[in-house]
């Protein structure tokens, strides 16, 4: 991946966000108390809090702050996890789990407080976050989460079907719940704003300087880039899904756990105030209970920014865009007038066996034809390269496909595929997955 000439994606946020600060490359030798590798939300937030404690920090970023997923997501501020719920976390991790649940409970307010304290202009709106349920059976999820989060002091509220209809402007939902501390931001503006604040606090940020390796030398960490190196007493790796994209030798065990999964996002033209008040009139952030997540929010210009996540392959951008339009029409019928989609993109997610996820930079769906298929077996994902999967399907007996035998009144099912291909034990034995942009 070329870091010499940073090309920003053709996204809504890149189009509307003021450019960030000019930053130098890491050339020659440098020193710091703490080295943070990665200039996304994780790296910048770490650097800011360390500087508040008086620690000398240097951030080493492969491209520019916010260039990856931090600057390309939907910008929803959600004070919970998709899974597990609070009691699950505490049951597994004890006292540490309780501290983590408290952090989750307050994380949205913490973000908005930081933006206010340092006067970061990120189009932030703390209007709340809503999770509607998409089927009658899923209302149990909302009830469980309200019960558990209320026990830990979160300002959550269970919503009836009529309350969700009034809040979102659609009758597609069967109820839900909301957390009043959530909201939404312009993610790229937040990343660039954090970078500005970090610099003002005395931190150094080296851009266009991908870390190619690191080592422990005597009592210090040494991080090497293409043009220099930096040493520090402590090292924080905040590279996320790009861990193996600029250097295969940079934490290969972590890089090998990443699997690309597609996500998409699109925006309408700015809506009139009259039209806007018919869909999400309170301007809350919304994401539902689908496994293939659906989400929506407004930006500062009254664009309805919507999308979804969870597809393993969509081999054409137009197909993804068409799916987005169909779903948007089903969920918010009132917004049809003037809702021509702009800047449709696909994002790449990374997932591993223990259900933790890494979020990567968006890429057009047409660029990722090599994505593997995946299926879940217990808590693990089995991976099948797409070409191998298609070959198996071609070679399978068409007569064995599922069909309904009207005479016998039985339904025959396709025989199970052969065991999924195993991932290579070492990333050096061949890359099965598509490269990120």
Band (pLDDT 50/70/90 cuts) for residue 378 is: very low
Q: What is the pLDDT of residues 140-159, one digit of tens each?
A: 999 999 999 999 999 999 99
Q: Report phi then psi at 262, rounded to 5.
A: -80, 145
At 241 the pLDDT is: 83
**pLDDT, mean of residues 153-173:** 95
At 395 the pLDDT is: 58
At 116 the pLDDT is: 97
Band (pLDDT 50/70/90 cuts) for residue 56 is: very high
Band (pLDDT 50/70/90 cuts) for residue 387 is: low
Distance CA 329, CA 336 (A): 7
Q: Report phi then psi at 330, rounded to 5.
A: -65, -40
In the chain, % of residues over pLDDT 70: 69
Are the CB atoms for 375 and 389 separated by under 8 Å? Answer: no
Q: Residues of 370-392 as b/e, b for ≥16 C-beta within 10 angstroms? A: ebbbbeeeeeebbbbbbebbeee
Residue 298 has pLDDT above 90, yes or no: yes
At 349 the pLDDT is: 37
CA nearest to 206, candidates 59, 364, 96, 335: 59
User: Could you report how far apart the first and last alpha carbons of the chain are, in Å?
Assistant: 7
Angle, helix 41-52 to helix 187-200, in steps of 10 degrees: 30
Residue 346 has pLDDT above 80, yes or no: no
3-state helix, strand, coil in the chain (%, to 5): 30, 25, 45
In the chain, % of residues over pLDDT 90: 59
Please, is 430 exposed, middle or buried when counting C-beta atoms within 10 Å of its C-beta (0-12, 13-18, 19+)? Answer: exposed
| Residues facing residue 380 across a β-bridge | 377
DSSP string, 249-306: TSSHHHHTT---EEEEEEEPPPPPHHHHTTSSTT--EEE-S-SS-EEEEE-TTS-EEE
Q: What is the pLDDT of residues 190-222, one digit of tens each?
A: 999 999 999 999 999 999 999 999 999 999 999
For 135, 144, 356, 423, the CA distances from 261, given in Å and listed in that order, are 24, 28, 13, 17
**pLDDT, mean of residues 369-378:** 36
| Residues facing residue 261 across a β-bridge | 349
Residue 406 has pLDDT above 80, yes or no: no
Domain at 12-73+188-255, CATH from 1.20.1560.10, 3.20.20.80, 3.50.50.60, 3.40.190.10: 3.50.50.60
Mean pLDDT over the full length of the chain:
79
Q: Indicate the Cα dihedral angle 232, 236, 239, 240, nearest 10°.
A: 170
- Average the pLDDT over each of 19-28, 160-169, 312-321, 335-344 and give the range with the smallest value: 335-344
Residue 400 has pLDDT above 60, yes or no: no
Cα 26 from chain centroid (whole Å): 28
At 323 the pLDDT is: 56
Band (pLDDT 50/70/90 cuts) for residue 249 is: confident
Are the CB atoms for 331 and 134 separated by under 8 Å? Answer: no
- Average the pLDDT over each of 3-17, 272-286, 350-364, 414-428 and give the range with the smallest value: 350-364
């Amino acid at each position: 991946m070329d870091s010499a000439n940073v090309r920003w994606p053709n996204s809504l946020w890149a189009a509307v966000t003021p450019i960030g600060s000019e930053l130098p490359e890491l050339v020659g030798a440098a020193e710091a108390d703490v080295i943070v590798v990665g200039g996304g939300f994780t790296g910048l937030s770490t650097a800011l809090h360390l500087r508040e404690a008086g620690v000398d920090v240097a951030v080493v970023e492969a491209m520019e702050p916010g260039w990856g997923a931090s600057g390309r997501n939907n910008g929803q501020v959600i004070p919970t996890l998709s899974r597990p719920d609070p009691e699950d976390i505490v049951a597994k991790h004890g006292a540490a789990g309780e501290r983590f649940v408290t952090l989750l409970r307050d994380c949205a307010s913490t973000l908005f407080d930081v933006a206010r304290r340092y006067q970061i202009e990120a189009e932030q709106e703390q209007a709340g976050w809503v999770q509607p349920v998409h089927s009658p059976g899923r209302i149990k999820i909302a009830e469980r989460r309200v019960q558990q989060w209320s026990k830990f002091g979160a300002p959550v509220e269970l919503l009836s079907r009529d309350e969700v209809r009034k809040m979102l402007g659609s009758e597609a939902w069967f109820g839900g719940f909301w957390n009043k501390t959530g909201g939404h931001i312009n993610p790229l503006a937040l990343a660039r704003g954090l970078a500005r604040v970090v610099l003002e606090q005395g931190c150094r940020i080296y851009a266009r300087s991908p870390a190619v390796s690191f080592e422990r030398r005597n009592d210090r960490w040494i991080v090497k880039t293409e043009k220099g190196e930096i040493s520090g007493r402590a090292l924080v790796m905040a590279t996320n899904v790009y861990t193996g994209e600029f250097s295969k030798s940079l934490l290969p065990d972590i890089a090998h756990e990443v699997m690309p999964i597609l996500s998409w996002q699109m925006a309408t033209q700015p809506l009139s105030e009259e039209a806007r008040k018919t869909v999400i009139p309170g301007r809350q952030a919304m994401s539902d209970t689908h496994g293939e997540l659906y989400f929506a929010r407004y930006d500062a210009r009254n664009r309805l920014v919507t999308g979804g996540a969870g597809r393993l392959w969509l081999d054409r951008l137009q197909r993804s865009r068409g799916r987005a339009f169909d779903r948007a029409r089903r969920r918010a019928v009132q917004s049809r007038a003037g809702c021509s989609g702009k800047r449709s993109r696909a994002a790449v997610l990374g997932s591993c066996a223990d259900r933790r996820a890494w979020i990567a930079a968006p890429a057009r769906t047409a660029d990722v034809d090599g994505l593997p298929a995946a299926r879940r077996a217990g808590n693990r994902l089995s991976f099948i390269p797409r070409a191998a999967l298609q070959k198996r399907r071609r070679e399978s007996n068409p007569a064995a496909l599922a069909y309904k035998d009207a005479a016998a009144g039985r339904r025959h099912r396709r025989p199970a595929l052969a065991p999924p291909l195993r991932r290579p034990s070492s990333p050096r034995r061949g890359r099965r997955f598509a490269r990120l942009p």
